[in-house]
Amino acid sequence: MMTENIVTFFGSYEDLDKVIERLYSPGVTNEDDHCFDFNKIIPFPNELSYIHSSRFNSGKKMIHDREYEQWYYENLAGEMIKKDPNDDPELSTLKGMSSKMEKQFMKKYGALNKHNWICKNWGSTSNSIGPHLKRSEEKLVYNFCTNYGSARLIILEIESMIHRGEFPKVKMMWEHDNIDAHSRYMNDDEYVPDLTPVFTVGFAETEKSTSEYYKEAYS
């Protein structure tokens, strides 16, 4: 279920430069560059990336005759690691997440694996999909998709950061539209977002009405 998100920032040329820098993450190649990286707004805890979950496999993992829903690899120093299939099996140990460890992770992160954390904290199942940026003298327009949810939680955090002075002093407008709801029948028990565009204006000294920003966004 894909949602299209359009995020527009208004401000001085210098502040818009800061927004670009604040949201951008370089990749290994230019094709991997990410112009609207959710991780730059709500950072993902890397420790969760080491956890494997039965959600993405055919069943629970058997380790020493015991089934585990979450498991991980540990190096000889007792540190959690990402294990490459080609790694020497003698250099790591497969371990299951104990109930005590699950409680610790839930208390610390509110989730036991990467997927659950992202859904809970970013509001979708992944980072922004296919983001691209269009810039003019007075505004930035980011367009990207999200899967199984919109960018609402990210937008709310940006707005809060603007208010706290932790983000460039700009105005912000957000629009979203559920793409799939236009093209296929949705069962009664499936979530269908409101198709009406939602506009949120950030905190700045000079206020304008939403309608004024709407006109500027499409001028």
pLDDT digits (tens, 9 = 90+) for 5-25: 999 999 999 999 999 999 999
Please tell me the number of Cα atoms within 13 Å of 163 on its side-chain side.
8
- DSSP secondary structure letter of residue 31: G
**Cα-flanking dihedrals φ and ψ of residue 91, to 5°?**
-95, 0
Task: Answer yes or no: are the C-beta atoms of 178 and 193 closer than 8 Å.
Answer: yes
State yes or no: pLDDT of 184 exceeds 70: no
When pLDDT is cut at 50, 70 and 90, the band that residue 36 belongs to is very high
The one-letter amino acid at 216 = E
The Cα 25–Cα 37 span in angstroms is 6
* Dihedral class, residue 165 (left if φ above 0, else alpha if ψ from -120 to 50, else beta): left
- Write the pLDDT tens digit of every residue in 59-111: 677 777 777 778 778 887 888 778 766 677 777 788 887 888 889 989 999 98
Q: How far is CA 185 from the centre of its chain?
A: 27
Work out the percent of the chain whose per-residue pLDDT is above 90: 32
